[in-house]
Amino acid sequence: MKTKLSDTAKLGLAEFLKGKRQTKNLSLEKLSDLTKIQVYHLKALEEGKFNELPPLVYSAGIFKRLAKFLDVDKDEIIKMYKDEIQPTESRGVKKMTLPKKNFYFVLTPKKLTIFFGGLLLVFLSVYLWYQFKFLVGPPTLVVDPKEDIATKEEIVYLKGKTDSGVELKINGENIYVSSDGNFSKDIQLAAGINMIEITATNQFGKISKLVKQIFKE
């Protein structure tokens, strides 16, 4: 018949298990052989050193095997074990609260090095991205007027912006491009539709082209 732990409420779990083992005239080594539980785990239980046991999810197997060979109730062993390992504050003892430490940010040479290193890496990444875009893509080309127009004027003023260093042509004629990429030209119009082709070619042979239609009334 299994013994209820409630009958030995005055005993701690360690004393109770030790007493049951001794009642059955079993040494720790013999109990270990029967239950396949390591001797040091049995010793830790009988000495109340529960912090040396594995977590409860694993210890439950130990209690189950002990209950079988010591004729006690497994569930009550686990309950008593939980009661003994519960946090101190749940037993009515007020938990000591440590004073909260104020956080101060201290600027050190190492932090400065990391900050400026990261900043340099960002600038370098942006620079490389623009260089890559410049290498693999055609040059920028923006022309004003942006839309095709109709006019009664004999001359239309064409202006725009591209990348510096490109070769710019309007209807096959080379046009000067300033260092900031600006260009302009007066276009003589004939009656009817005037086709104006603007091309920009960079040093890598990438071309951007726009065609404008200007209708002279």
For the chain, the farthest-separated pair of C-alpha atoms sits apart, in whole angstroms, at 123
CA dist 23 and 129 (Å) reads 81
Q: Are residues 86 and 20 in the same domain?
A: yes
Residues 79 and 151 in one domain: no
Residue 88 has pLDDT above 80, yes or no: no
Is 113 inside any structural domain?
Answer: no
Residue 124 falls within a domain, yes or no?
A: no
- Could you tell me if 147 and 217 are in contact, meaning their C-beta atoms sit under 8 angstroms apart? no
Q: pLDDT value at position 142?
A: 93
Question: Whole-number mean pLDDT of the chain?
Answer: 81
Q: If pLDDT is split at 50, 70 and 90, which confidence band does 160 have?
A: very high
> Of 90, 125, 154, which residue constitutes the final position of a domain?
90
Predicted confidence at residue 103, as pLDDT, reads 56
Residue 73 confidence (pLDDT) above 50: yes
User: Is 93 a residue whose pLDDT tops 50?
Assistant: no
Query: How many domains is the chain partitioned into structurally?
Result: 2
Query: Can you give the CATH number for the domain in which 154 is found?
Result: 2.60.40.10
Predicted local confidence at residue 6, as pLDDT: 47
Task: Catalogue the E-assigned strands of 69-191.
Answer: 141-144, 149-151, 155-162, 167-170, 173-175, 182-188
- Checking if the pLDDT of 163 tops 50, the result is yes
Strands (E), the chain: 141-144, 149-151, 155-162, 167-170, 173-175, 182-188, 192-201, 207-216
Distances from the Cα of 21 to the Cα of 31, 73, 138, angstroms: 8, 14, 88
Least confident of 5-14, 88-97, 104-113, 141-150: 88-97
Containing domain of residue 176, as a range? Answer: 141-216
pLDDT for res 77 = 80
pLDDT digits (tens, 9 = 90+) for 19-64: 888 888 888 888 888 888 888 888 888 888 888 887 777 778 888 8
Which one has a higher pLDDT value, 63 or 105?
63
3-class DSSP state of 130:
helix
In angstroms, what CA-CA distances link 115 with 112, 120, 121, 148? 5, 9, 10, 51
9 & 84 share domain: yes
pLDDT at position 92 over 90:
no
Question: Do 22 and 81 fall within a single domain?
Answer: yes
Q: Assess if residue 130 is contained within a domain.
A: no
> Are both 11 and 83 inside the same structural domain?
yes
User: Cis before residue 145, ω within 30 degrees of 0?
Assistant: yes
